[in-house]
Amino acid sequence: MPDGGGHRPSLASVDTSRHRQLAYLVAWGRVGIGLTAALAPSVMARPWIGDAADSAGARLLARTMGGRDLALGIGTLRGLAQSDRDARPWVALGGLADGVDAVATAMAFRSLPRRSRWGIAALTIGAAAVSARAASALDSVRDSGPA
């Protein structure tokens, strides 16, 4: 579809725009997860570890992991507000964190609660894949101005 000037947006710009939107969605998801984990840690831990989520140690760990997601989410949002170049490392690091979560989930898969194990696996793998693809798409764009 032509823009207001009669030009068609390039496929690359549409692709990058879509990946920026995905990066925003993942970042806002991280902020939400981080806040929930900090304020209601048992809620966030229960899908991973079941009833053990109510223990003091599980609540502590959920809060610390929530801090990680909150920081990554805010950093990504700030980077996206600045430029693709500023956002790339945040998006990529978020994907790395999700990749580690996916591997840890796979390693413990049989011990995870039956009702949530597949959802947790899908969430961690999906978030890692979306973040990796978005970081790659943002990497393909060269911002104007000095590096």
Q: Token pair of 1, please?
A: 């579809």
Residue 75 vs residues 72, 126, 132: alpha-carbon distances, Å:
5, 20, 16
Backbone angles phi, psi at 140, to 5 degrees: -80, -10
> How far, in whole angstroms, is CA 22 from its chain's centroid?
9
Please give the Cα distance from 74 to 39 (Å, whole number): 17
pTM, whole model, 2 decimals?
A: 0.80
| Domain map (residue ranges) of the chain | 12-139
Please give the Cα distance from 41 to 44 (Å, whole number): 5
CA nearest to 106, candidates 48, 41, 30, 61: 48
Tens of each residue's pLDDT in the chain, 147 residues: 445 555 554 444 546 688 889 999 999 999 999 999 999 999 999 999 999 999 999 999 999 999 999 999 999 999 999 999 999 999 999 999 999 999 999 999 999 999 999 999 999 999 999 999 999 988 765 544 444
